[in-house]
Structure 1
Amino acid sequence: MKLARILAALLMLATLGACTTIQIEPLPEGMTDQPPANWAARSASLGQLDHWKLTGKLAVRQPSDSGTAIINHWIQDGESYDLALSSSFLGMGSTRLKGVPGFIELTLPNGETYRSGEPESLVQAATGWRLPLENLTWWIRGLPSPGSDYRLLFDEQGSLAIIRQDGWEIRYDRWQDFLASYPELPARITALKEDKRVRLVVSDWQEETP
């Protein structure tokens, strides 16, 4: 199925080794589940960042196949997103995902468009696993999604190190001062669930005007 192959190619990654989820009990050495004193203020500030444009690279690995895609842009406008990806993997070319919670529109390089009221189910049907699309808009900012239970771990410097939520483990590998008006934002994230791994590297992040 052409759509399945292209969607699968969109979410794959190469050159990533095997990885296992960190066990939380007992806590990993050097980590604590006690948030630093500035966590509430930091969370409130990042929660207000809901209009942005970023660029970078998306890479995904799962047992069936793997690959990478360039994030030409991820434009977030409140709850609406516009994600433009490109990759030579399987001849995917430029592919665009646009949507809001509960709806997704996928446009292929040849102009064919597919729409679904169940975004995660569409991706799961194509790739064999569920991509947490709505959670990603929170995780990319270094915040847990408010939609379900979660657990946070912080390193010795007080930086967020891990979010565990909905069966996923989100590891924050690097932070960077992208925007002068906000705290540091994630520059590299690794998300793991069972034998699947997603890595997102942000090269540039800009605040957009609502």
Structure 2
Amino acid sequence: MKLWLATLLSILILSGCSSAPPQPPMASDSWELHQQTLSQLKDWTLKGKIGIRTPQDSQSANLKWVQASDNYQIDIRGPWGQGGASLYGNPGAVTVDVAGEGIFRGSSPDALLEEYLGWHLPVSQFYWWIRGLPAPGPSSTLILEQNRLSLLRQAGWQVEFLAYHSGSPTLPRKLRLQHGQLTILIVIHDWISGAAPDV
């Protein structure tokens, strides 16, 4: 259960990571304009895969994240829909439903992670990182490639943007997040603008 909850709350987020640098499509807009555009993207559905690896274990699963302004639902399911967990809520309240383990509630995903696993992780900042943006607040170090994030260091995490989708706006396709001995790989197959009406 702990690994599933860690996966969900840290998104969060195919082992065999590529070390090649990201190759985003040629960008005609500046980094500043790109940040403004992505900051306005507040409703989306993304589908893909997530893998988490620690020295003790590794797992991968299907990922679906629906964001409607401040409301969200993140579903993680094993192969063929087996097992998994769902995280849903808003900035004031969050619920985690872990298959076979129970339902857990708290005021934030960060607080739930701290309470049930004893880990302090900047879960709320993943909302920004998944779009290819640094989170507001904590200081960060950026490396850009063609006016897109290639590497981000923030809040003790290293986030590598290994590939981007084409289109406008340019959104991440593959990310690798590392903190100590924890590695999370996210591969996004589809980005769809606009959130599902039931979120």
Normalised TM-score (structure 2): 0.79
Partner of 1:97: 87
Partner of 1:190: 176
- Please list every run of 5 or more consecutive structure 2 residues that lacks an aligned counterpart in the other structure: 20-27
* Counterpart mapping for 1:46-195 below 5 A: 46-71=38-63, 73-87=64-78, 93-110=83-100, 112-127=102-117, 129-155=119-145, 157-177=146-166, 182-195=168-181
Q: Does the 8 Å CA contact 2:4/2:84 hold for their aligned counterparts?
A: no
Q: Does the 8 Å CA contact 1:57/1:68 hold for their aligned counterparts?
A: yes
Change in Cα spacing, 1:134 to 1:173, as seen in structure 2 (3 Å) is same
Counterpart Cα distance in 1 of 2:133 and 2:3: 32
Q: What do you get for the CA RMSD once the two structures are aligned?
A: 3.0
Instruction: Give the residue type in structure 2 aligned to 1:164.
Output: R
* Equivalent residue for 2:186, pick from 179, 200, 207: 200
Once the two structures are overlaid, the 10-residue window that deviates more, 166-175 or 120-129, is 120-129
**Moved runs in structure 1, 4+ residues, more than 4 A?**
8-14, 124-128
Structure with higher Rg: it is 1
What is the CA-CA distance between 1:126 and the residue it aligns to? 4.4
Percent sequence identity over matched residues?
30
Equivalent residue pairs, number: 184
Instruction: Give the residue type in structure 2 aligned to 1:66.
Output: S
Q: Deviations over 1:89-114 (max 9, x none)?
A: xx971411012235320113359321
Normalised TM-score (structure 1): 0.75
Larger RCO, structure (CA 8 Å, separation 6 or more): 2
